[in-house]
Chains A and B, each alone.
Chain A
């Protein structure tokens, strides 16, 4: 286990009001953000949100229409892709099919004109690092998806770039392989200590791997924060709905002071939240939002730690370790989803059963 080296405050990549137009299509709409040295940074968003375009502006494959992209303090405007201190792992891996594994890994070292022995040693080191020791002589096309991915990593990392760019690197792998590679990528990033920028549409992948995540919609960064903040305190309904599941109940603000906001929420009644639980989201009407796991299903004899309401079970989705219930709280129009860990000896609730649900105002978010 390699401990994570502390992320410095030194900026490695800076976007300053970056715009990108394709004809009339506005692909990037004023991106400003800073990625720090040694950080594992993710660009997360649905397809077409501009995340890959943004990554490609770092690599130099896409020019920008307005703004500035700095890498390691240097303006990249006139630096072509082949002169940038960044390397990329492509979505398709882009392993050269006419070369061997070793020739692929050594591809970028050609210009350094190293002695043969040094070259072979560095290639072997890089292959060892990604767990492909001894694969050098293999033909590239004979590799499995996971192995191609490793070759692509070794090929990029052997050049010791300041930034490694990963364009949906795990999307072509099956679920098991993907989970294994997630852990390996984290380990690799700790080992080499360089900045990783990952593009993904898989929110779970971003949460698992990243130090910080930028959630993008329609060419803009909607929220940039660490994984936990993103999950616990999404700053808009859109982000909340993209990351995991979020329930909403319509609400109205009754009164507001500097330290507290008093709200009348459908089903929950009168409650008070602190200002840091408030997300200003002009796009939608006022509502309280909460994750499925903050609600507790109360069994016979159990009492809620904080407050409780009565509800009816309308749908049961059994997952083995967990069960998801859609329940309708008395006095509300739409069912909400809650999750419960299945404990041995406790029955799963059935459709139509009346249940008591425990909740706590401290875990709610007020969107308004």
Chain B
């Protein structure tokens, strides 16, 4: 028996040896800190130091204080809006590049799509402020063409500007997974559907879209999860009514020095995201069968 398992054991040993450095790195600098964050969220904030008393007070504060509750709710709504807008806007682009562009020119189109994202994120966000501001590019343009007589004020320093800026920032993260999923679709399946009597539009609904779902699901998660924790965009273009949970966390950590409450806010936000993502996966799982 000992010799039987030898091959598999040797292989496992080789694999474990290789995976050890990145795995240990992630354990020490990711898993352990996350666990410590959980621990902190149950401790009590004292003056200058943290008191080792177990308490739910931080969570109570985070979930009942109208200020924190309002910001968390807004973060969630913004994230959901951004996700829907980004994925809906991105799908036709991915579809165009995958289905209507010559194979040899696809990488050029992808290149064109990704170039804007190599501009500094901070500067990009700042420029949205320039575009959407009271004296901004958009208002100036609209006034010049006589479409409006006074600058629009609902563009900047509110939820709208945060959603527009984030939908711009996360565009490639939505386009690329959908594009990859569309590329994997065997084109003869679409011909088969039409051969069996379905129109192009019905074929899209019955064949293309279900097969592209793994990419759509990936795009949704990869946009939804990080946006809720975005700091720069609400800070620069959100104004007072556009604040999100990351700004609160930063405030608790770097300004008010209240680590336990900051941790409780961070864990709460992650928990909300995790629950919503899990529900979303539950509803879409039938499309994910047979894929990784």
Chain A residues with a Cβ under 8 A of chain B: 21-23, 62-63, 65-66
Contacts and interface: CB of A to CB of B under 8 A. Distances in A.
B289 interface: no
Given A21-B4, A23-B8, A63-B6, 4 more contacts: A22-B7, A22-B8, A62-B7, A66-B3
Contacts of A23: 4-5, 8
Interface in B1-47: 3-8, 10
A121 to B, nearest CB: 39
B8 A65 contact: no
A62 B11 CA distance: 12
A66 B10 CA distance: 16
Contacts of A22: 7-8
Best-buried of A21, A23, A63, A66 by chain B (most CB within 10 Å): A21
A62 B6 CA distance: 11
Contacts of A66: 3
A63 B5 CA distance: 11
Interface size class of B (residues with CB under 8 A): under 10
B268 to A, nearest CB: 45
14 contacts: A21-B4, A22-B7, A22-B8, A23-B4, A23-B5, A23-B8, A62-B7, A63-B6, A63-B7, A63-B10, A65-B3, A65-B4, A65-B6, A66-B3
Nearest to B8: A23
A21 B3 CA distance: 9
Contacts of A65: 3-4, 6
**Dominant SS at the B interface?**
helix
Nearest to A64: B3
A22 B9 CA distance: 11
A127 B10 CA distance: 38
A219 to B, nearest CB: 14
A5 B3 CA distance: 41
B11 to A, nearest CB: 11
Nearest to A66: B3
A9 to B, nearest CB: 32
Give the one of B5, B7, B8, B10 with max A CB within 10 A: B7
Nearest to B6: A63
A22 B3 CA distance: 11
A190 B6 CA distance: 39
B3 to A, nearest CB: 5
Interface string B109-127: 0000000000000000000
Contacts of B7: 22, 62-63
A62 B8 CA distance: 11
A176 B118 CA distance: 53
A167 B4 CA distance: 25
A269 B10 CA distance: 61
Nearest to B10: A63
A21 B4 CA distance: 6
Contacts of A62: 7
Closest 7 CB pairs of A and B: A21-B4, A65-B3, A65-B4, A63-B7, A63-B6, A23-B8, A66-B3
A66 B6 CA distance: 11
Interface in B198-216: none
A66 B3 CA distance: 8
Contacts of A21: 4
Interface string B258-288: 0000000000000000000000000000000
A184 to B, nearest CB: 36
Nearest to A26: B4
Contacts of B6: 63, 65
A21 B1 CA distance: 9
A53 B8 CA distance: 15
A23 to B, nearest CB: 6
B1 to A, nearest CB: 9
A66 B7 CA distance: 12
Contacts of B10: 63
B2 to A, nearest CB: 10
A263 B193 CA distance: 59
Q: A23, A63, A65, A66: which has the most chain B beta carbons within 10 Å?
A: A65
B12 to A, nearest CB: 12
B224 to A, nearest CB: 40
A126 B71 CA distance: 75
A21 B7 CA distance: 9
A269 B132 CA distance: 100
A169 B276 CA distance: 53
A30 to B, nearest CB: 14
A65 B10 CA distance: 13
B7 to A, nearest CB: 5
A25 to B, nearest CB: 10
Interface in B130-154: none
B13 to A, nearest CB: 13
A21 B8 CA distance: 10
Interface string B149-183: 00000000000000000000000000000000000
A52 to B, nearest CB: 15
A18 to B, nearest CB: 12
A77 B5 CA distance: 16
A63 B3 CA distance: 10
Nearest to A21: B4
Contacts of B8: 22-23
A49 to B, nearest CB: 19
